[in-house]
Amino acid sequence: MTHQYGWEVEDCTADMKDAKPYHRRHRVCEHHSKASIVLVAGMRQRFCQQCSRFHDLSEFDEAKRSCRRRLAGHNERRRKSSNDYHGEGEMGAGSGVQWWKGASGKEREAFRRRVWGYFHG
């Protein structure tokens, strides 16, 4: 249901022509895009900054502005990226930090020389 001023939120009187393109595209004024509770179609909802949609309040943790589903995906990608960086990603458990922890003093020294030569050679 679109209301008098074109916004999704009931009783919002913000002028659409003054809004940023993002807010016009998603039919939510800047104030209501950040509000913790709004009324949309008679239901208490919140705007999800990840989905760019309104969801029922039960889909959010506490005062967060992203729904649990999208946050779970975001956190999973972050964990995967972190594991890749720490040597538990595509190259296997023997790479990165894991390799360094298991390397002998000679292996570490040879590695340092190769890296030094690469950057200073």
pLDDT single digits (tens) 8-55: 999 899 998 899 999 999 999 999 999 999 999 999 999 999 999 999
What does the mean pLDDT of the chain come to?
83
Averaged pLDDT, 94-105: 69
Higher pLDDT, 112 or 55: 55
Answer yes or no: pTM beyond 0.85: no
Please give the pLDDT value at position 107: 85
Q: State residue 2's pLDDT score.
A: 47
Task: Give the pLDDT mean for 53-74.
Answer: 93
Look up the CATH number of domain 16-67: 4.10.1100.10
Residue 67 and residue 48 in contact, taking contact as beta carbons nearer than 8 Å? yes
Query: What percent of the chain shows pLDDT beyond 70?
Result: 77
- Answer whether residue 66 shows pLDDT above 50: yes
Residue type at 49 in one-letter notation: Q
> How is the chain split into domains, by residue range?
16-67, 69-120
Paired residues of 38 in beta bridges: 45
Other residues' Cβ atoms within 10 Å of the Cβ of residue 70: 17
Higher pLDDT, 90 or 49: 49
**Exposure string (b/e) for 1-23, b if CB count within 10 Å is 16 or more?**
eeeeeebbbeebebeeeebeeeb
